[in-house]
């Protein structure tokens, strides 16, 4: 029983195989494992009915060395990798108020990874990416999880953000950031300056 419960704390397809083998060989019952909260969260039912539907969180657009990038958190990515699913992120960019997308692309993730994802939009775009400056744009992002052996396809809810690319804005920080303390001009702070 302890080995079965311990595998629930590992994000690995091998841990899932060990858990399945323990259940098949009747060394531990499925009900006993599912009574442990962590094992219940790692189960197929909770993954396919709940976690897969979660949309991406903390989506940020930025430019690095002049290239458009997107960074976000996918809360279900580690569990999807542990259950053997591959994840494909599908994205589209629209003008605000329009239903016709001006750019689209996809990014593929295999294996177990942390939930933090960064995508280079120019590398993952279909065709060439040409984003206008100074206009409000809508970025839409979703995840499609596919199991390579079972051919099961599960889609997340789409997440949207609104952003504007400001011309001449420097998204990168200085190479050597410094801390500068500014003291008030009162006499008691003169010795600290």
- Cβ neighbourhood burial of 80 (10 Å; 0-12, 13-18, 19+): buried
| Alpha-carbon distances, residue 115 vs 44, 80, 87, 131, 152 (angstroms) | 19, 10, 11, 27, 21
- Rounded to a whole number of angstroms, the distance between the first and last alpha carbons of the chain is 65
pLDDT 10s digit of each residue in the chain, 193 long?
Answer: 788 888 877 777 787 788 888 888 888 888 887 788 877 777 777 878 888 888 999 999 988 888 899 999 998 898 888 888 899 999 999 999 888 889 999 999 887 788 899 999 999 999 888 888 889 999 999 999 998 888 889 999 999 999 998 877 767 766 777 777 777 777 777 777 6
Count how many Cα atoms sit within 13 Å of the Cα of residue 16 in the half-sphere of its side chain: 16
- H runs (alpha helix) in 25-116: 30-35, 37-41, 44-49, 77-82
Closest among 167, 95, 160 to 133, alpha carbons compared: 167
Superfamily in which the 51-164 domain is placed by CATH = Immunoglobulins (2.60.40.10)
pTM more than 0.85: no
What is the C-alpha separation between 20 and 22, in angstroms, rounded? 5
């Amino acid at each position: 029983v302890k080995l079965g419960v311990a595998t629930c704390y590992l994000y690995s397809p091998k841990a899932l195989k060990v858990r399945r083998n323990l259940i098949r060989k009747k060394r531990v019952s499925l009900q006993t494992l599912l009574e442990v909260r962590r094992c219940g969260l790692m189960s197929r039912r909770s993954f396919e009915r709940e976690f897969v539907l979660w949309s991406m969180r903390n989506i940020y657009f930025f430019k690095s060395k002049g290239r458009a990038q997107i960074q976000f958190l996918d809360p279900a990515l580690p569990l999807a990798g542990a259950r053997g699913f591959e994840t494909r992120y599908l994205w589209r960019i629209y003008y605000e108020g329009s239903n016709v997308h001006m750019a689209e692309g996809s990014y593929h993730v295999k294996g177990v990874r942390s939930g933090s994802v960064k995508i280079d939009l120019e590398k993952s775009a279909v065709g060439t990416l040409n984003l206008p400056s100074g206009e409000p744009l809508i970025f839409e992002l979703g995840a499609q999880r596919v199991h390579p052996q079972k051919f099961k396809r599960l889609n997340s809810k789409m997440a949207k953000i609104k952003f504007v690319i400001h011309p001449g804005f420097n998204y990168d920080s200085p190479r050597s950031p410094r801390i500068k303390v500014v003291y008030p001009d009162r006499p008691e702070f003169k010795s600290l300056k």
